[in-house]
DNA sequence: CAACTCCTTCACAAATCGATAAACAAACGT
DNA sequence: ACGTTTGTTTATCGATTTGTGAAGGAGTTG
């Protein structure tokens, strides 16, 4: 099955390879360059650290066995100030090494020999994992309730809700922290703004109005719960409702 | 023998395993529990999705090959709204599968057979990556009792407790010092505040109300013990219950 | 300007919580 | 064994918190 586009490889990343084997570096450099990335190579740990400090790569491929300085040492050192992901790379397949590598702060570990495509996939996954830190989802879904923030719209099972601005802000504030209790102060900060101070009872009123909109639907009244003495909690489960139980048995093997 | 010494549940995470092989789940559950994690098991994709929605695990171990729904589908679905890391797990060693898994949003990929220690190291690395900025223990677990502070929620064996604010404060104060005796003065400082002075008997009353909630469950009444002349002691062992009883799914089925 | 929406404020009802008291039971020291 | 101290349980009442409805004003749109 072919996917249309792959946004992760659409952009180019700066990759630093710290590896002393010239054959491997050549292969890696070639393959990664073909992916559109910008590759820098350092052939020993000290040089790698220097290059990392000056170029700030998006990801580092780090050989475990290096001349002079052990790869683990390099990793530990880099981790102190660099938050780019580090992918350990080694000929050793012993699990102690894998574990030691991960313990020391590596984010992934690949043993040679490896398949280039897998390495690339892991690189992309690592970058995606560290880069896409909270893109602030535009669409919040919880069961039958769907809120599209950019459109300022909220739907409950195909029925459009009429939410006033304040109500809307409070709802998405609650949904963003789904499951957790939001104090009135927190909700006020979200819906009114940082410095603005109003009567906290206003929150109650708006919550009531939201509830009124959700009423009539199954479980609608339970979506926003009151936690006495603390605040309110959106207790719906995030994500769309799972597919029906029966239906298709797909992809089943064995 | 293990005493209830360490209130640091920072290393205890909620792990959901979506895997249909009972042998493997048993092994995993045992090993992960020994690490101090709280393990939930779902035996097929749909159940896994449901459990993930309701329990919000910190990390998910997902088998690629599942009955009814393909693991990739599950992964893609979860990724839409869940930001917890997903570790793919499969018997397939083909690189296409690894790549496909990573493309679909998995954060790591381990092929069977694998070494348990490596898996655990990868789990820890994943968790460290994603919630490195959360050293504060939000979830206190002691056997069947689980308290999530930010959600202001307490569950006893999947049954939700109704705890008033004071009761809640006293409970978590006791749990934080699990095994140690808390004097009434200490508990009052935690639940009422530094300067406030009230009749120490209030503590008695609230402890009784907590006990009333825990009643009916096995060992529930023994969780909070009275130390005559001194105060109260939370005597449950922190950390999840051993999975000794069954190898079956403990996830809900509603 | 008129109609409308939205926000705030208020008053009252309902629900919940917490402090106190008091009666009862258990544990302890002598 | 006895009385004293400490803990348990229940009840009650006032205080606090929250739900509800409505009114009025500010702001916006046509």
pLDDT in tens, B45-102: 999 999 998 888 989 999 988 888 888 899 988 987 888 889 998 876 666 777 878 8
In chain A, pLDDT over 90 holds for what percent of residues?
A: 40
CATH code for the domain of B194: 1.10.10.10
End residue of a domain, out of B133, B153, B179: B133
B127 and B153 assigned to the same domain: no
A191 and A96 assigned to the same domain: no
What's the pLDDT at B55?
Answer: 85
**Angle A145-A148-A150 from CA coordinates, rounded to 5°:** 165
End residue of a domain, out of A101, A133, A165: A133
What's the pLDDT at B240?
Answer: 61
Check residue B75 and give left, alpha or beta (phi > 0: left; psi -120 to 50: alpha).
alpha
pTM for this predicted structure:
0.77
A125 and A170 assigned to the same domain: no
User: In the predicted model, is pLDDT for residue A146 greater than 60?
Assistant: yes
What's the pLDDT at B109?
Answer: 85
What's the pLDDT at A114?
Answer: 82
CA distance A74 to A129: 22
Q: Let me know: does A19 contact A89? Beta carbons within 8 Å.
A: yes
DSSP letters spanning B170-228:
HHHHHHHTTTSEEEHHHHHHHHT-SS----THHHHHHHHHHHHHHTTSTTGGGSEEEET
Instruction: Give me the phi and psi of B179, to 5 degrees please.
Output: 95, -25
Query: What is the bridge-based pairing of β-strands B239-240 and B159-160?
Result: unpaired
CATH code for the domain of B87: 3.40.50.2300
What would the mean pLDDT of A66-89 be, rounded to a whole number?
87
Q: Check if residue A181 sits with its Cβ under 7 angstroms from strand C.
A: no
Q: Which domain holds residue A189?
A: 139-250
A207 and A106 assigned to the same domain: no
What would the mean pLDDT of A53-58 be, rounded to a whole number?
89
Choice between A129 and A159, residue whose per-residue pLDDT is larger: A159
What's the pLDDT at B36?
Answer: 83
A86 and A28 assigned to the same domain: yes
B120 and B158 assigned to the same domain: no
**Angle B178-B32-B55 from CA coordinates, rounded to 5°:** 75
End residue of a domain, out of B75, B105, B133: B133
CA A141 to chain centre: 17
- Average pLDDT of chain A is 84
A106 and A198 assigned to the same domain: no
DSSP letters spanning B103-146:
HTT-SEEEESS--HHHHHHHHHHHHHHHTTT--S--EEEEETEE
Distance A226 CA to D9 C1' (A): 29
- In eight-state DSSP terms, residue B244 is -
- Give kind and range of the element (H or E) at residue B240: strand B239-240
A122 and A162 assigned to the same domain: no
User: In the predicted model, is pLDDT for residue B252 greater than 60?
Assistant: no
User: Hey, which of A136-145, A214-223, B113-122, B158-167 has the most confident mean pLDDT?
Assistant: B158-167
Check CB contact under 8 Å for A118 and B108.
no
A123 and A223 assigned to the same domain: no
Check CB contact under 8 Å for A98 and B121.
yes
Q: Check if residue B235 sits with its Cβ under 7 angstroms from strand C.
A: no
Tokens of B19: 């895997």
A215 pLDDT band, cuts 50/70/90, is: confident
Choice between A249 and B92, residue whose per-residue pLDDT is larger: B92
In chain B, pLDDT over 70 holds for what percent of residues?
A: 81
Residues in A closer than 8 angstroms to B83, CB to CB, are: 134
Strand order in the sheet with B224-227: B181-183, B231-234, B224-227
What's the pLDDT at A15?
Answer: 93
A107 pLDDT band, cuts 50/70/90, is: confident
Tell me the residue length of chain A.
254
B140-192: pLDDT as tens digits: 888 888 899 999 999 988 889 999 999 999 999 999 998 899 999 999 999 99
B92 and B199 assigned to the same domain: no
Tokens of A11: 């952009």
User: In the predicted model, is pLDDT for residue A245 greater than 70?
Assistant: no
Choice between A71 and A248, residue whose per-residue pLDDT is larger: A71
B227 and B123 assigned to the same domain: no
For chain A, what is the domain count?
A: 2
What would the mean pLDDT of A144-162 be, rounded to a whole number?
90
What ranges make up the beta strands (E) of A132-238? 139-142, 145-148, 153-156, 159-160, 181-183, 224-227, 231-234
CA distance B157 to B240: 11
Binding-site residues on chain B for chain A (CB distance < 8 A): 46, 49-50, 53-54, 56, 65-70, 72-73, 77-78, 80-83, 85, 95, 98-99, 102-103, 106-109, 115, 117-118, 121-122, 124-125, 129-130, 150-152, 164-165
A59 pLDDT band, cuts 50/70/90, is: very high
What spatial distance separates the first Cα and last Cα of chain B, rounded to whole Å?
Answer: 37
Tokens of A212: 């009124």
**Angle A164-A167-A170 from CA coordinates, rounded to 5°:** 150
What's the pLDDT at B10?
Answer: 46
**Most distant CA pair in chain A: distance in Å?**
71
How many Cα atoms within 13 Å fall on the side-chain side of residue B15?
28
B243 pLDDT band, cuts 50/70/90, is: low
What's the pLDDT at A253?
Answer: 40
Closest to B114 measured CA to CA, from B92, B85, B141? B92
What's the pLDDT at B238?
Answer: 63
A244 pLDDT band, cuts 50/70/90, is: low
In chain B, pLDDT over 90 holds for what percent of residues?
A: 39
A190 pLDDT band, cuts 50/70/90, is: very high
Does residue A236 have a cis bond before it (omega within 30 degrees)?
A: no
A87 and A159 assigned to the same domain: no
Q: Let me know: does B37 contact B13? Beta carbons within 8 Å.
A: yes
Choice between B248 and A56, residue whose per-residue pLDDT is larger: A56
Check CB contact under 8 Å for B125 and A137.
no
List bases, strand C, within 7 Å of protein CB.
5-11, 16-22, 27-28
CA distance B19 to B64: 8
User: In the predicted model, is pLDDT for residue A206 greater than 80?
Assistant: yes
CA distance A247 to A187: 42
Q: Check if residue A202 sits with its Cβ under 7 angstroms from strand C.
A: yes
Nearest CB among B69, B102, B122 relative to A251 is that of B69
Mutation target among B50, B98, B136, B251 for the A interface, most CBs of A within 10 A: B98
B8 pLDDT band, cuts 50/70/90, is: very low
What's the pLDDT at A10?
Answer: 52
Check CB contact under 8 Å for B98 and A107.
no
């Amino acid at each position: 099955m072919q996917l249309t586009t792959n946004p992760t490889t659409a952009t180019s990343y700066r990759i630093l390879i710290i590896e002393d084997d010239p054959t491997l570096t050549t292969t890696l450099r070639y393959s990664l360059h073909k992916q559109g990335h910008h590759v820098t190579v350092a052939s020993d740990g000290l040089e790698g650290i220097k290059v990392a400090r000056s170029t700030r790569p998006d990801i580092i491929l780090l050989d475990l066995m290096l001349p002079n300085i052990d790869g683990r040492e390099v990793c530990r050192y880099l981790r102190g100030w660099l938050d780019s992901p580090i992918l350990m790379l080694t000929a050793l397949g012993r699990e102690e090494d894998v574990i030691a590598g991960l313990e020391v702060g590596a984010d992934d570990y690949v043993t040679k020999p490896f398949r280039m495509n897998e390495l690339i996939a892991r690189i992309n996954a690592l970058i995606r994992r560290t880069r896409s830190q909270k893109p602030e989802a535009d669409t919040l879904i919880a069961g039958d309730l769907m809120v599209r923030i950019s459109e300022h719209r909220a739907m409950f099972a195909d029925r459009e809700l009429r939410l006033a601005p304040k109500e809307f802000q409070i709802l998405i504030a609650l949904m963003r922290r789904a499951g957790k209790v939001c104090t009135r102060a927190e909700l006020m900060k979200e819906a009114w703004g940082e410095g603005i101070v109003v009567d906290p009872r206003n929150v109650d009123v708006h919550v009531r109005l939201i509830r009124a909109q959700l009423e009539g639907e199954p479980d609608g009244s339970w979506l926003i719960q009151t936690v006495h003495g603390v605040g309110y909690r959106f207790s719906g489960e995030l994500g769309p409702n799972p597919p029906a139980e029966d239906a298709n048995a797909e992809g089943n093997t064995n």
